[in-house]
């Protein structure tokens, strides 16, 4: 595999061998390594010194189930630290099959124009795309697939990324029609916009020679046996198997439980349970979808045995979004006082089309409602605000910058952010482990960086004890998944048996790793990220929940976030 350098200053591409320092890194770890080695941590996140990196995980491109997530990263304009956001879809596998260990976008075009990058087995080339300016991500994908073939993967930004908005994500097509996956968090779409890159087209479609030939394996037998075991465990698990909640209901399976535990963000995080939550549950989503001829149990990546996705359709059976997910239901639903999956799905489609992180945008809309710019529960009002974002009006530019800027500009003090980034759909006053993760993770408030929801039976979510240790453990696990390209949902087999992950890596690369090497890898990811962030200016003062959450009790438990600063500051003591 090679590193593909894209120099936007000179509009040139260059293939580079992988240096020994990067050899054993992938996905999130490779992003951390590149950022630390090549990018001045103090740089302007939207300036020419920052780099935008796309990297498949270490296991990307193989036939391992659920292993094709695409990591996107750089210095975040929201957190001002290193950021990795990953997405399903076909981008991770295709990039790996095209032999790209990392795609590194550098500099900025002097002409201020937009470009597209086309990568196939014949090489890579930068081409003009200024006529795509102002297109949403659906239209961009359609134009690109029209030109390069329907089987191509298209990674793109919408209007939000062009406008350099902090809520802008990077969209990626998936295996199904209308699929829109987003590497959403941290404003990486703005970073892509700052590079003048409208789209990346990966031409490794089914049917080409590339797709047929998976990435090489050092020990095919070990790898295949381990991959089989991995898939079987997922299939046989009551959670991830065909009868499990994940396949049956998708990520929205947890709506009822989070609402029940009082951590479901409602009306700008002012309450923890939503009176209309019953209309937002996974069960309801399944019923509606099946009744209308939509789909449930679809996959975002070819060959995934979990298959947690859906194609949510309107009453006429026309797709609205694929896939409708938990965090979106939380942030664009309860958080906006909206108790209808149709309304959530329509707002979600707007976010996808405009290239917006539905979490950051939903949180900004919640703040806007608190400032009186829309009414909670009013889909049309929120849709109009999203349209302002796409139009680039001053109002839209405020909201498009995300919740923190919106709160500051609009004079709202109840702003659910950590490290400048909006919280996902778990209020940390009722799930305190997540507060520890939001505050301390190098990723900021992020539902995939060490989510304590799944451990609510192990550590009391309302208590203080054990949260610190739990958060660190989950953060290390997340680092491993994000480095190998595995989906968060496929964690049980490798969390339960680390040797399985070691076997997969040894089968793929022949490194002869032990479990100790794997543990060291997990730690090293966090260490690199923490080092970058420290040099970028992060301090303990950033590892805090918003002050109002320490003062304002959250119904129904009426708890505040009270994990002491000393606990927050000790999370990485043993790292």
Q: Which residues of this protein are in contact with a copy of itself, per CB under 8 A?
A: 41-44, 46-49, 163-164, 166, 373, 394-395, 397-398, 401, 405, 408-411, 413, 535-537, 539-542, 544, 546-548, 551
To a copy of itself, the closest distance from the beta carbon of 367 in angstroms equals 13
C-beta closer to a copy of itself: residue 39 or 470: 39
C-beta closer to a copy of itself: residue 235 or 383: 383
What is the residue-wise DSSP string for 492-557?
HHHHH-HHHHHHHHHHHH-----HHHHHHHHHHHHHHHHHHHHHHT--GGGSS--GGGGTSPBTTT
Residue with tokens 């949180």: 363
C-beta closer to a copy of itself: residue 238 or 411: 411
To a copy of itself, the closest distance from the beta carbon of 52 in angstroms equals 16
C-beta closer to a copy of itself: residue 162 or 271: 162
Q: Which residues have a Cβ under 8 Å from the Cβ of 568 and sit 6 or more positions away?
A: 436, 439, 440, 468, 540, 543, 544
Give dist(CA 575, CA 570) in Å, integer. Answer: 10
* CA angle at 364 for the pair 544 and 462, rounded to the nearest 5°: 40
C-beta closer to a copy of itself: residue 163 or 376: 163
User: Which letter, b or e, does each residue of 220-244 get, where b requires 16 or more Cβ atoms within 10 Å of its Cβ?
Assistant: eebbeebbeebbebbeebeebbeeb
C-beta closer to a copy of itself: residue 333 or 396: 396
Q: Residue 111: how many CB atoms within 10 A of its CB?
A: 11
Asked if 437 and 451 count as a contact pair (C-beta separation under 8 A), the reply is yes
To a copy of itself, the closest distance from the beta carbon of 204 in angstroms equals 34
To a copy of itself, the closest distance from the beta carbon of 378 in angstroms equals 18
To a copy of itself, the closest distance from the beta carbon of 537 in angstroms equals 3
To a copy of itself, the closest distance from the beta carbon of 396 in angstroms equals 9
C-beta closer to a copy of itself: residue 134 or 339: 134
To a copy of itself, the closest distance from the beta carbon of 481 in angstroms equals 30
Nearest one of 51, 52, 56 to 70, comparing CA atoms? 56
Give dist(CA 343, CA 359) in Å, integer. Answer: 16
Nearest one of 546, 551, 554, 563 to 272, comparing CA atoms? 554
3-state secondary structure of 396: helix
C-beta closer to a copy of itself: residue 143 or 397: 397
Strand partners, 199: 116, 156
To a copy of itself, the closest distance from the beta carbon of 261 in angstroms equals 27
């Amino acid at each position: 595999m090679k590193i593909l350098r894209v120099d936007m200053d000179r509009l040139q591409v260059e293939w580079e061998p992988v240096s020994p320092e990067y050899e054993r890194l992938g996905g999130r770890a490779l992003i951390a390594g590149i950022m630390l080695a090549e990018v001045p941590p103090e740089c302007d996140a939207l300036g020419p010194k920052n780099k935008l990196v796309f990297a498949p995980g270490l296991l990307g491109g193989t036939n391992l189930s659920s292993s094709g997530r695409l990591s996107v990263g750089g210095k975040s304009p929201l957190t001002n630290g290193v950021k990795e956001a990953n997405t399903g879809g076909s981008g991770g596998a295709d990039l790996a099959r095209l032999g790209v260990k990392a795609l590194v976008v550098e500099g900025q075009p002097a002409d201020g124009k937009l470009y597209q990058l086309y990568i196939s087995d014949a090489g890579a080339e930068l081409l003009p795309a200024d006529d795509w300016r102002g297109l949403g991500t659906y239209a961009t994908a359609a134009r690109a697939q029209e030109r390069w073939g329907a089987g191509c993967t298209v990674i793109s930004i919408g209007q939000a990324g062009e406008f350099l908005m902090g809520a802008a994500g990077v969209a990626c097509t998936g295996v199904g029609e209308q699929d829109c996956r987003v590497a959403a968090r941290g404003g990486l779409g703005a970073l892509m916009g700052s590079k003048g890159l409208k789209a990346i087209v990966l031409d490794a479609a089914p049917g080409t020679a590339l797709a047929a030939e998976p990435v090489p394996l050092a020990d095919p037998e070990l790898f295949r046996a381990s991959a089989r075991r991995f898939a079987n465990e997922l299939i046989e698990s009551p959670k991830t198997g065909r009868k499990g909640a994940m396949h049956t209901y998708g990520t929205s399976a947890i709506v009822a439980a989070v609402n029940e535990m009082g951590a479901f963000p409602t009306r700008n995080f002012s309450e923890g349970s939503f009176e209309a939550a019953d209309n937002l549950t996974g069960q309801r989503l399944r019923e509606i979808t099946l009744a209308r001829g939509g789909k449930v149990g679809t996959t975002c990546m070819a060959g995934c045995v979990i298959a947690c996705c859906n194609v949510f359709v309107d009453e006429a059976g026309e797709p609205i979004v694929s896939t409708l997910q938990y965090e979106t239901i939380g942030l664009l639903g309860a958080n906006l006082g909206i108790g209808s999956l149709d309304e959530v799905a329509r707002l979600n489609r707007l976010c996808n089309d405009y290239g917006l992180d539905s979490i950051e945008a939903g949180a900004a809309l919640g703040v806007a409602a608190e400032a009186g710019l829309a009414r909670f529960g009013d889909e049309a009002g929120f849709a109009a605000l999203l349209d302002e974002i796409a139009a680039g009006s001053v109002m839209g530019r405020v909201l498009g910058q995300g919740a923190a800027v919106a709160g500051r500009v609009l004079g709202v003090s109840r702003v659910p952010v950590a490290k400048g980034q909006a919280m996902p759909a778990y209020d940390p006053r009722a799930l305190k482990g997540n507060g520890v993760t939001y505050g301390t993770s190098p990723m900021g408030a992020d539902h995939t960086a060490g989510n304590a929801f799944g451990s609510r039976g192990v550590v009391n979510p309302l208590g203080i004890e054990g949260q610190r240790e739990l958060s660190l453990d989950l953060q290390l696990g997340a680092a491993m998944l994000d480095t190998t390209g595995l989906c968060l949902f496929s964690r049980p087999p490798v969390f339960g048996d680390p040797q399985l992950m070691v076997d997969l890596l040894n089968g793929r690369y022949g490194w002869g790793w032990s479990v100790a090497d794997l543990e060291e890898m997990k730690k090293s990811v966090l260490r690199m990220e923490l080092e970058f962030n420290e040099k970028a200016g992060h301090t303990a003062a950033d590892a805090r929940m918003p002050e109002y959450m320490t003062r304002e009790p959250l119904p129904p438990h009426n708890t505040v976030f009270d994990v002491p600063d000393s606990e927050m500051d000790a999370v990485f003591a043993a790292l």
